[in-house]
Structure 1
Amino acid sequence: MRQARRPCQTPVMPNSPLVPTIRRRRLGACLRGFRSEAGLTLDSAAGAMGWKAPKLSKIESATQSIRPSEVGALLSVYGIEDAQVKEALGALAQDAGKKGWWQTYSAIVSPAYADYISLEADADTICAWSPLIIPGLLQTAAYARETIAGITTTRTPQEVAALTEVRMARQAVLSRPGTALELWAIIHEAALHQRFVVRPTTMREQLRRLLDASEMPSVTIQLMPPDSTAHPGVVGGFTVTAFPRPMPPVVLLENLNGATYVEGDDATPFAKAFERIRAAALPVEDSLARMAELEERHRK
């Protein structure tokens, strides 16, 4: 019997977004937080580095880059000598301008979407509550193509095909060498009853994909039954993207206009909400049994 893991509780980043603003913003926020904890003003901290205050201000506001070696020296000024913290923030500074594979799709991938792909590629844990659709990291190509085409109102067939390729390429994080992404997905059962008129086998194949993915040691899937108790997830879906310390988690909220990010302390309620949603969902083994039952029903 498979033993369930605990979902994301704690929150570095390896490839960069189309515009690396979000990496620098997260790095700047961390550095600003450490400076504040050290009780230093911009002038005193910058002076200790031999800089002018405007330079440090720009680094904290993500409008100027900083070298990894400077990150280590600045953290020492703040009294931070934790090797893990220095390594994590140094890596973030190193990768801030690096281009990711999604640059190839810059004509169709919006800056906000590119930012999220970057976060996803750098995360160590993702907790997704998905009440109406299968999470992108678990979709089949056919399911992705149908849902992208159904949701969009402006994309051409060629763009839908390209966005499907992007969604499939994102799934590499689940099997990346060394440290595969830990994914904990809670899906409402209603999402598994979607009909696809043009290609009726789409949902059966998608259910098989979920069952196969659940065999991966880094993936946990739960179903939310229709008769569940009340829980915070009734407000809507969200994704908590978490990183090794000291980087705080980032929450993704999606809508027809794109994506909204919730960062810093504002992300904490979502982690707590996910715990309550997890408790209201079917246990892992029961969820797998229900998916297998639905998949078998689609075969008849």
Structure 2
Amino acid sequence: MTDPESADAPQGGAKQNAPNPTLARRMLLDRLRKIVRRSPLSPEEIARKVGLDPSTINRWLNGRKKHLRPHDVRGLLVACGLGLDDPTVEELVALAERAGRPGVLGVTQPWMEKLRFDFYVGLEADAVHLVDYEIAIVPGLLQTPAYAEAVIRATEGDISHQDLASRIMVRLKRQALLKCPNEPLRLTAIIDENVLRRGPADRFIMRTQLEYLVGVAQWPNVDVLVIPYRVGLHVGVETGAFVLMEFAGDDAGPVAYSETPTQAVYVEDVEGVGRYRTVTERLLGCALGCTESLDMIGQAAETLRDDE
């Protein structure tokens, strides 16, 4: 799965005691907060232009108001200096109309594509547990810089040195979630054996990546589990790569994420997430245990060492 990322990704944990947000609402609030933060006006000046108390605006942006009406969003954006004919106004008003209806959010329109990477990385930063199933590449949170570069070059084709360096830097910053001293992100990485067998043409890059996997899989918050070839066909062959995110408390439900070459798909409704959980259970049933998985990864690394 292509790894979504952006140098302008939001940070921070989920808001406590806020209404359970839909994905569209999360995306809307994230974008509004950025616009307000970048406005030359102070929050108090923005509130005066809207004709409301600053505390009301703060409740909007902190997610305390369950439903942001389209005209509320339009008024806030105009107060921040955007014209009514600004495409951003139309875009976010459309998100406000979509917010409040849980289900499947497909990021397909060009204007939503701009938010896609920021939004994914923001969700990832808020999560407490990720299940990442990959059928072809090492999960982004576990990639070495050299392996990440090889993957980006292979998937993106012609990419500038500046964009390449930025993508690698953001990927490495994301990995810091696994190393937080207080509450590190828990990661369950389920990978097909194919991930171990197909890698960059440079065998040294692949070997060092596999050796890194062996090391990080021994962290208390990381599990790396391999589905061996001998299992044959399994449910993941049909579903493809996906990420299942779990969040703390009752303020945000779980989210499943997958993507195709043309869109990113976020699933948050109970039935849809339930299906991904069932798939995850079936994948775990196919995978080797932690010790056996580490042995297989280590053996694959040794094979590459012998061939160098």
The answer, yes or no, to whether TM exceeds 0.5 is yes
Q: Structure 1: how far apart are the matches of 2:178 and 2:273?
A: 23
2:218 alignment partner AA: E
Unmatched 5+ residue regions in structure 2?
Answer: 1-10, 16-20, 30-55, 74-112
Partner of 2:230, secondary structure, is coil
Match of 1:168 in 2: 172
1:257 matched to 2:262? The reply is yes
Q: Structure 1: how far apart are the matches of 2:207 and 2:14?
A: 34
Q: Is the 8 A contact 1:250 1:267 kept in 2?
A: yes
Moved more, 131-140 or 257-266: 257-266
2:225 alignment partner AA: Q
Q: How does 1:1-300 map to 2 (within 5 A)?
A: 14=13, 22=23, 24-25=25-26, 59-60=66-67, 110-153=114-157, 155-197=159-201, 199-235=202-238, 236-246=240-250, 247-265=252-270, 266-300=272-306
Against the structure 1 CA distance between its residues 263 and 111, is the aligned structure 2 distance closer, same or farther, given a 3 Å change threshold? same
* 1:232 positional shift: 1.9
1:282 alignment partner AA: L
Q: Is the 8 A contact 2:136 2:198 kept in 1?
A: no
CA deviation vs aligned residue, 1:135-164 (integer Å, no higher than 9, x gap) = 000000001011011101453232112101
Q: Structure 2: how far apart are the matches of 1:295 and 1:62?
A: 55
1:206 alignment partner AA: Q
* 1:223 positional shift: 0.4
Against the structure 1 CA distance between its residues 245 and 121, is the aligned structure 2 distance closer, same or farther, given a 3 Å change threshold? same
2:134 alignment partner AA: S
Q: Structure 1: how far apart are the matches of 2:157 and 2:288?
A: 35
Against the structure 1 CA distance between its residues 173 and 133, is the aligned structure 2 distance closer, same or farther, given a 3 Å change threshold? same
CA deviation vs aligned residue, 1:91-140 (integer Å, no higher than 9, x gap) = xxxxxxxxxxxxxxxxxx94211111111111000001111111000000
Against the structure 1 CA distance between its residues 114 and 21, is the aligned structure 2 distance closer, same or farther, given a 3 Å change threshold? farther
Q: Structure 2: how far apart are the matches of 1:189 and 1:59?
A: 45
Partner of 2:203, secondary structure, is coil
Unmatched 5+ residue regions in structure 1?
Answer: 1-11, 29-50, 66-108
Q: Is the 8 A contact 1:251 1:263 kept in 2?
A: yes
Aligned residues: CA RMSD: 3.2
Against the structure 1 CA distance between its residues 267 and 242, is the aligned structure 2 distance closer, same or farther, given a 3 Å change threshold? same
Match of 1:95 in 2: none
CA deviation vs aligned residue, 1:157-207 (integer Å, no higher than 9, x gap) = 32112101111110000011211111000111111112423x331110110
Q: Is the 8 A contact 2:223 2:290 kept in 1?
A: yes
CA deviation vs aligned residue, 1:252-273 (integer Å, no higher than 9, x gap) = 1022235221112121110111
